[in-house]
A and B are shown apart, each in its own frame.
Chain A
């Protein structure tokens, strides 16, 4: 099933391939549960320790943080339409595990940032 968030994950994968230090500076394993109409339809793993992004659960190791968010909201986060704090407070973004580590993810997820 192809979701809009696929494009975002691809872009992030590209980003960390080009500059692996950004991934290493966060250094965590994140599990994303993407939902549609309330049900989890896809999971993505962002293994920033080995700089890999792929579908499914982590191949080695356990996720430090698990995030659950709907497809549309995830795209909104990446394109700057949805503010991460707002998303969290409205319950659109659910976090379990190491929340501090998830906050470090911020710069990495900014797919659409204006350049000074």
Chain B
């Protein structure tokens, strides 16, 4: 949750990373006391480097060097080896001396040449590095690396292979097709236009009848000639544009090419019914379910509602109760299935729509959550007018929500709240709370839930939502208070108990966390009607996997087998939980 500030592309709001970089780049105090210990920013770095390299040729200014060389040369020449008295005696040997000078001259020349070549090399290097620098800088600024690279390599390949043998190989044919746009590379697969396929077949046939080299080359030439230029640039331009778009948008999944993971609908299509539900046999499972719910026995209520919807698949109320109860029972995936079914049957069911928004938020599907909230508002006669007529988020492909869309939905709800400033509508506040949770603004979300509670202080669900908001906003102490209020109102509130466990984990109190989770699991197993089924049916996967992690963090891997077998008794004994 705290990643939000990094993840959001909120312009104008202080980005902590950016603030940090300003410390580094404009820390004047540091600069004053220590000079410039490290290069300040990448731009300045580049500047410095360029300056340094620019200076390099200066130190190797040819004119000065030439002069120096001449001086040395002349000095050397003018200074014959100083004849000592002994040497003077051997003036006959000035042959040797002359030769030495001659050699010296040669040597000088050699030396000069060496120096010259060195200088030339140096200059070349610096120039090269300057050039390279600018090339790198340019490439770095460009975004369309990929398309250019593929195109470049394809064309390079074509250029380099002049060998006639290669000209009619299959691979060359393919490369030509790619280069000319006949074949397109989509999703890593190659799809070749029919035309090209025909051509290929024709080519193969012709091969059999006529002289190999002749036809191949001529056909290759024809093909290249006919398709040169036009196809090439058109296709690659289009590709480049699309990649640019992709690179620019934050949501890369907006593009049809990357849409194949959007099959999320399938995961929430089918409801997972409990096998062997004893409630099937009773007369009116729906009423019994409501009864169980009022008694606070969530797992039993779930069983009853499941039986009810099996009996009456078109009963929207039954589906709705099943959905909301499953959510309280810490089974969001099932809750979403049930609520979706309810909305299909009864699109104006506001409770179901709000429930969907909450469950989608918990399962990290922000776009679907926002869409549910919008639908809620559209179906609500009081606020329907606030929704723009064509507002529909379902066209988007990914489950990540666009900043702008989220803001729009938020504004809608704020305006709805402002419609009746004196009279707090707790549902609107709830919706706003959910929206602020999605955007990571936990303080605002907490305020909204508190406002909702001011008019409906006996709603355990609202207390739990307040608690969850506070916990996710890194405020565990206040969160625990809220959870306790919820549990006081509804002791069988599995989700609230799970959340308490989560807060314990946040505080690294792993043992206490495990105890809470086990308590919740025990409750799920001990539901009045559940006992007959065998206890395992109504247990939440979420709780089990979190408990598993907890046990590992407690370094009690000896309990692993009990976890795998879902042996509640063994775990209870191990952690000293007494089933009272």
What A residues does B503 contact at CB under 8 A?
Answer: 114
What A residues does B474 contact at CB under 8 A?
Answer: 80, 83
* B98 contacts chain A at the CB level, 8 A cutoff: no
What B residues does A85 contact at CB under 8 A?
Answer: 2-3, 5-6, 16-17
* B303 contacts chain A at the CB level, 8 A cutoff: no
Contacting pair A103 B362 (CB below 8 A): no
Contacting pair B499 A114 (CB below 8 A): yes
Contacting pair A103 B7 (CB below 8 A): yes
Contacting pair A84 B506 (CB below 8 A): no
Could you show 16 A-B contacts with beta carbons less than 8 Å apart? A4-B552, A20-B261, A22-B364, A80-B1, A80-B471, A80-B472, A86-B2, A88-B6, A89-B16, A103-B6, A105-B3, A106-B4, A107-B3, A113-B472, A114-B469, A114-B499
* A50 contacts chain B at the CB level, 8 A cutoff: no
* B340 contacts chain A at the CB level, 8 A cutoff: no
* B508 contacts chain A at the CB level, 8 A cutoff: yes
Q: How far is the CA of A7 from the CA of B514 in the complex (A)?
A: 14
Looking at the complex, which one of B2, B253, B467, B546 makes contact with A83 (CB distance below 8 Å)?
B2
* A11 contacts chain B at the CB level, 8 A cutoff: yes
Contacting pair A114 B400 (CB below 8 A): no
What A residues does B495 contact at CB under 8 A?
Answer: 115
How far apart are A25's CB and chain B's nearest CB, in angstroms? 6
With contacts A25-B400, A116-B465 taken as known, whether A103 is within 8 angstroms of B472 at the C-beta atoms is: no
What A residues does B267 contact at CB under 8 A?
Answer: 19, 21
Q: How far is the CA of A83 from the CA of B440 in the complex (A)?
A: 13
* A104 contacts chain B at the CB level, 8 A cutoff: yes
* B541 contacts chain A at the CB level, 8 A cutoff: yes
What B residues does A21 contact at CB under 8 A?
Answer: 261-264, 267, 399
How far apart are B473's CB and chain A's nearest CB, in angstroms? 10
* A79 contacts chain B at the CB level, 8 A cutoff: yes
* B301 contacts chain A at the CB level, 8 A cutoff: no
* B180 contacts chain A at the CB level, 8 A cutoff: no
Contacting pair A8 B549 (CB below 8 A): yes
Contacting pair A81 B2 (CB below 8 A): no
* B50 contacts chain A at the CB level, 8 A cutoff: no
Q: How far is the CA of A20 from the CA of B437 in the complex (A)?
A: 23
With contacts A80-B506, A84-B2 taken as known, whether A115 is within 8 angstroms of B499 at the C-beta atoms is: yes
Closest to A104 in B: B7
Closest to A7 in B: B552
What B residues does A19 contact at CB under 8 A?
Answer: 264, 267, 363
Q: Top 4 closest A-B pairs, CB basis?
A: A7-B552, A106-B3, A24-B261, A114-B468
Q: How does the 8 Å CB contact mask read for A82-116 relative to B, with 1 for contact and 0 for none?
A: 01111011000000000000011111001111111
Q: How does the 8 Å CB contact mask read for B460-477 relative to A, with 1 for contact and 0 for none?
A: 000011011101101000
Contacting pair B465 A7 (CB below 8 A): no
Contacting pair A114 B358 (CB below 8 A): no
Looking at the complex, which one of A10, A80, A104 makes contact with B552 (CB distance below 8 Å)?
A10
Looking at the complex, which one of B17, B362, B557 makes contact with A116 (CB distance below 8 Å)?
B362
Looking at the complex, which one of A4, A7, A110 makes contact with B1 (CB distance below 8 Å)?
A110
Q: Give the number of residues in B that approach A within 8 Å (Cβ atoms).
A: 58
Q: A25-B261, A116-B361 are in contact. List 15 more A-B contacts (CB 8 A).
A: A4-B553, A21-B263, A27-B258, A75-B553, A81-B507, A105-B3, A106-B1, A107-B364, A111-B546, A114-B469, A114-B503, A115-B330, A115-B468, A116-B358, A116-B433
* B20 contacts chain A at the CB level, 8 A cutoff: yes
How far apart are A87's CB and chain B's nearest CB, in angstroms? 9
Name A28-65 residues within 8 Å CB distance of B: none
Contacting pair B2 A79 (CB below 8 A): no
Looking at the complex, which one of A18, A22, A79, A103 makes contact with B506 (CB distance below 8 Å)?
A79
Most B Cβ at <10 Å: residue of A24, A84, A110, A115: A115
How far apart are B331's CB and chain A's nearest CB, in angstroms? 11
Closest to B500 in A: A114
Closest to A87 in B: B2
Contacting pair B398 A25 (CB below 8 A): yes
How far apart are A48's CB and chain B's nearest CB, in angstroms? 10
With contacts A83-B2, A115-B468 taken as known, whether A11 is within 8 angstroms of B545 at the C-beta atoms is: yes
Contacting pair A116 B464 (CB below 8 A): yes
* B352 contacts chain A at the CB level, 8 A cutoff: no
Q: How far is the CA of A7 from the CA of B548 in the complex (A)?
A: 8
Closest to B498 in A: A115
With contacts A18-B541, A115-B499, A116-B464 taken as known, whether A106 is within 8 angstroms of B553 at the C-beta atoms is: no
Q: How far is the CA of A110 from the CA of B542 in the complex (A)?
A: 13
Contacting pair B253 A25 (CB below 8 A): yes
Q: How far is the CA of A4 from the CA of B548 in the complex (A)?
A: 12
* B505 contacts chain A at the CB level, 8 A cutoff: yes
What A residues does B479 contact at CB under 8 A?
Answer: 114
* B515 contacts chain A at the CB level, 8 A cutoff: no
How far apart are B360's CB and chain A's nearest CB, in angstroms? 10
What B residues does A22 contact at CB under 8 A?
Answer: 364
Q: How far is the CA of A2 from the CA of B541 in the complex (A)?
A: 25
Contacting pair A7 B553 (CB below 8 A): yes
Q: How does the 8 Å CB contact mask read for B515-546 relative to A, with 1 for contact and 0 for none?
A: 00000000000000000000000000110011
How far apart are A64's CB and chain B's nearest CB, in angstroms? 13
What A residues does B555 contact at CB under 8 A?
Answer: 4
Contacting pair A84 B6 (CB below 8 A): yes
Q: How far is the CA of A111 from the CA of B16 in the complex (A)?
A: 24
Contacting pair B508 A81 (CB below 8 A): yes
Name B475-522 residues within 8 Å CB distance of A: 479, 495, 498-499, 502-503, 505-508
Q: How far is the CA of A89 from the CA of B16 in the complex (A)?
A: 8
What B residues does A105 contact at CB under 8 A?
Answer: 3
Contacting pair A79 B505 (CB below 8 A): yes
Q: How far is the CA of A15 from the CA of B333 in the complex (A)?
A: 13
Closest to A78 in B: B549
Q: How far is the CA of A19 from the CA of B553 in the complex (A)?
A: 24
